[in-house]
Amino acid sequence: MAESSHEHLKKSKEASTLAEMFHEMRKSIDALIQWTKKLQQNDSSYGREISLVHTKLQEAKMWAGKCLEAIGSKLPEEFRDKAE
């Protein structure tokens, strides 16, 4: 079963390095992105808003990746941070 974003947040607080914290943050954001995909499948009156939430979460994950890059963390593409 996939870990919740709350579990990822707890792990990020336990992370010992800044890079580990950013990786855990990205996993938490990815879990939320997956959740919004499920919400988008429901035909509702707030579909546009959920789409905006989805887009902004994608942007947040991207910017967290830029922070990793800025602190010098090199991560091969095959090890992208994904929620499990």
Query: In the prediction, which pLDDT does 16 show?
Result: 82
Residue type, 35: W
| CA separation for the pair 78, 48 (Å, rounded) | 32
Please compute, for residue 14, the number of CA atoms within 13 A of its CA located in the half-sphere on the CB side.
6
Instruction: Characterise 72 by phi-psi region: left (phi > 0), alpha (psi -120 to 50), beta (else).
Output: left
- Residue 63 pLDDT > 60: yes
For the ranges 12-16, 55-59, 71-75, the lowest mean pLDDT is seen at 12-16
- Is there a contact between 16 and 44 (Cβ–Cβ < 8 Å)? no
